Amino acid sequence: MLFVSLSELILYICFSILFGSLILFMVPEDKKPPIYIPKKILYFAAILIPVAAFMPVFQTANILAADRDLGFILKNVVLTFEIGKAWLFVVFVSIILICVLLAKNLITKKHLMMWALVLTLLMLFGYTTSSHAATITDGKGFIFHTLHFLAVTIWIGILFVVSWFSKTKDNWLTFLKWFTPVALICLAITIVAGYFTMEIDINSYDDPNASIFQEYQNSLIVNYGQALVLKHIFIISLVVFAFLNGVLFRRKNNQELFNPFKWARLESVYALIVFGITAFMGQSWPPHQIYSLIKTEGASPLFNALYDGDIIDTIQNADSTGIFNVTMSFEFESYLLFGLGLLFMLLTIFGAVRKRSVYVSTFSSLLMIISLYFGIITGIQ
């Protein structure tokens, strides 16, 4: 499971590098910092996408094979399962993309750059057609998951490439003038599409009338829900650093000693953490049937380590399926932790704006994440 999660993380990074690089190649030189992206990185990303996308295919075949011929089962999965056919499509498009990337003067030929972008987009479509949300709905899940994934990879891809491959901070303010609204649009699409994707992924089969808030609460006792709440809290930190980089640091750009890249890199690191959590969620059982999931897989180890209530024992000792709802009741301890979370958020901003210390801001933001997480966990009944 962890190996496949790692392959998905690699997949997200490769898509981000491709989208970020190809978009920045098309931006005029005076509207971005001087950037040098070795073409071999683009080749490597294009090659790694089908390799990483193969891991879930192999995992599916390995589970189905049991003691039977793995090669025969793998062939059937590739040729007849949606996940296998989607992978074949990704491989086909990847080969064409590599041929385009190998073309001479790629950067100066805008039509080739546009083709490379279209091919990368087609690979993304191929990947999202086999996502969980896409396979259990009649098209709605594919649309929302694709929009969510595309918006994130464009936003983080541009940020990642600029922060790690820029040679100087020349034109940084000019870059922010167009990137900030692009990032805001991507963030809005990410939130809206992510909400509807989440609605599909955590939809309760045990209680069709449950609200999404109740389904979210119920999911907290399994791995998927634990990863989901951590992802949302880390996104708060990501947005805080995006606010610092896109708004509060604009006036500091003219200061000779100010280095915007170390802050942009910190933002990109938080984005990678969110990618990693998302990859783990992709390999966790969705909380559609909490009763059956707890019976067969048990609760999340992290949840078991922190929770001292009896809801898990109640579910595991129940004789028949029923509706088991997790309730939230925030008391003084939870509100104190939420208050600490807010305080650490302010310290994160203060450390960045006043102290200009990456270490202070990073430490404060991590304490914010811990405080908010424990505030939520202590409210579970």
Question: Radius of gyration (Cα) for the chain, nearest Å?
Answer: 22
Among 1-5, 76-80, 214-218, 260-264, where is mean pLDDT lowest? 1-5
Nearest to 198 by CA among 155, 223, 232, 221: 232
**How many other CB atoms are found less than 10 A from the CB of residue 328?**
15
Reduce the secondary structure of 327-350 to three states and give it as a string: CECCCHHHHHHHHHHHHHHHHHHH
pLDDT digits (tens, 9 = 90+) for 217-264: 989 999 999 999 999 999 999 999 998 888 877 777 666 677 888 888
CA 328/CA 111 separation, integer angstroms: 55
Mean pLDDT of 57-76: 85
CA 221/CA 226 separation, integer angstroms: 7
Torsion angle of the four alpha carbons 61, 63, 69, 75, in this order, in degrees rounded to the nearest 10: -10
For residue 112, pLDDT over 80 is answered with yes
**What is residue 35's three-state secondary structure?**
strand
**What is residue 282's three-state secondary structure?**
helix
How does DSSP classify residue 38? -
Site of tokens 């995006």: 242
Which amino acid would we find at residue 337?
Answer: L
**How many other CB atoms are found less than 10 A from the CB of residue 312?**
17
Mean pLDDT of 191-196: 93
CA 90/CA 96 separation, integer angstroms: 10
Per the prediction, the chain carries an average pLDDT of 89
Which amino acid would we find at residue 74?
Answer: L
Q: What is the pLDDT of residue 253?
A: 66
Mean pLDDT of 94-110: 87
Q: Is 28 exposed, middle or buried (0-12, 13-18, 19+ CB in 10 A)?
A: exposed
371, 340 contact by CB (below 8 A): yes
- The pLDDT confidence band at residue 324, using thresholds 50, 70 and 90, is confident
Supply the pTM of this predicted model: 0.92
Higher pLDDT, 109 or 355: 109
φ, ψ of residue 203 in degrees (nearest 5): -55, 130
pLDDT digits (tens, 9 = 90+) for 121-136: 999 999 999 888 888 8
Q: At what angle do helices 260-282 and 140-165 cross, to 10 degrees?
A: 150
